[in-house]
Amino acid sequence: MQFVAVLVLAFAPGIFWLWLIYRRDRFRPEPRALVIRTFLWGMAVAIPVAIVEALLFLGVGDISQLNQLPLGAIAYLSFIVAGVTEEVGKYLVVRRTVYSSPYFDEPMDGIIYASAAALGFASLENLGYLFIFGWEDILLRGPFSTLAHVLFSAMWGYPLGLSKVRRPLASTLLWLGLAGSIVTHGLFDFFLFRENGYSLLAIPVFIGAGALFLFMLRHARRISPYKDKIGLMLTACPHCSQRVPLYAHFCPLCGQQLARGRQEPPAFCGKCGAAVPHQADFCTACGSRLIKQAES
């Protein structure tokens, strides 16, 4: 029972943040199974990354007393052991698994999959910290460190999405983003490792990364190729053949009540007029997202 409670505490923050970020992908949401798979890959890569980090720890000294280590050793742990290994590990997960998928087809996808990999990594990391330091550790890691992984990884995730759609300077931005994620991750950890009041300096790093994340999120939605590809799912009035929203109960032209019997009426895309199956979420002809019920 105690083990189950530890699992819930370790994974609940990551699942919550992933759900919240996934909801921002409204124009062409990614398949949930693919997002979950990337989350699991993020968990999986945490194991070899931890092994590499353990090897890099050798010769540093007693890392249980971080604030007593020389500044050079703390910088090495922050920027090389944590920053480089963790960000490169998460980047390789997205680049080598989901990047080649046909579903990865817009800049927003780079943020979504980078966030999924980062949160999978952070969730397994949370589990390790909980076993070592106790459940109280999640009070800080849940809302702060877990989300920080997302903010760092989005710096290379968004340019990776730009490169998939061949936006200008995307390759340059990708390398700058990867370097930026390493430096920001390193600064964040460096201030936390210093302690003795220096930990508070991690807050402006976190806020700055958060502001950049929100900017990238808004920009991704603004340049999405699917931004204007939204259409009502329509059906035809049996009395006058006027096409009306599938969720309508009466025809706005002739007032005919639209009965819903066992046999489903034909459905059409409101954007291009193509016939579509009722279970479709996107038009098979133009790719528009299909709205099946009135949106508030």
Q: What are the extents of the domains in the chain?
A: 2-222, 229-296
Q: Are 189 and 95 in contact (CB under 8 A)?
A: no
Res 295 pLDDT > 60: no
Residues 279-288 pLDDT 10s? 787 777 777 7
Measure Cα distances from 40 to 105, 142, 246 in Å: 21, 18, 38
Strands annotated E in the chain: 230-236, 243-245, 267-269, 275-276, 289-291
How does DSSP classify residue 279?
T
pTM reported for the whole predicted model: 0.81
3-class state of residue 252 by DSSP: coil
Residues 6+ apart with CB under 8 A from 179: none
Q: Are 216 and 112 in contact (CB under 8 A)?
A: no
Res 146 pLDDT > 60: yes
Tokens standing for residue 199: 């930990």
Res 15 pLDDT > 60: yes
Residues 61-92 pLDDT 10s? 665 666 677 888 889 999 999 999 999 999 99
Residues 103-121 pLDDT 10s? 998 999 999 999 999 999 9
Average pLDDT value for residue range 141-155:
89
* Helix, strand and coil percent figures for the chain, each rounded to 5: 65, 5, 30
Residues 268-282 pLDDT 10s? 887 777 888 877 877
Q: Are 271 and 231 in contact (CB under 8 A)?
A: yes
